[in-house]
Every structure is written in C-alpha cells, then in structure tokens.
Amino acid sequence: MDRLGPNIHELLKLNEKNFPISTVAKLMVEMISRLEEFHNCGFLHRDIKPDNFCLGGKNLKDIYLIDFGLSLSYLD
C-alpha cells in the first residue's frame, strides 16, 4: 500500500469533484479491465467504489484494484 499513490476518491476531492470527460472515459476503461481480470480468476470483488482503485507504477499511470476483504470465490 505504501508504494501506491492516491485512490480515485482522493483525486476527485483534489479536483473539486470534477474530471474532464476524457479522463473519466480512460479511468472507466482501466477500472473495468481490472475488474474483468479479477473476475476471470474466479472471484467477485463485492466492494466496488472509487476508494478501492489506486494509482501506481511509473508516473502514477497504472490503476490497481485493492481491498479484497469482501471478495468471494464463485467457482468451485
């Protein structure tokens, strides 16, 4: 967690709850992609909110899904 940057909720607060539509579109594509990867592993996240997506990587360009406390396996 220390290596990750701010979460999406913190970024919204910093930008006075206003993102350009292009930013929203890019974020949504990446967030859906992360959820799809997690779902393909046989799990449901069950706690989707802006607080659970963090920026990280070089220049904070990657999005990470966090907080798997409510996650549930849906495959036997």
Is-catalytic flag, 47? yes
Residue 16 three-state SS: coil
Residue type, 30: E
Q: Name the active-site residue from 47, 62, 67, 76.
A: 47
Query: Per-residue b/e over 55-66, b at no fewer than 16 CB within 10 Å?
Result: bbeeeeeebbbb
Instruction: Just list the catalytic residues.
Output: 47
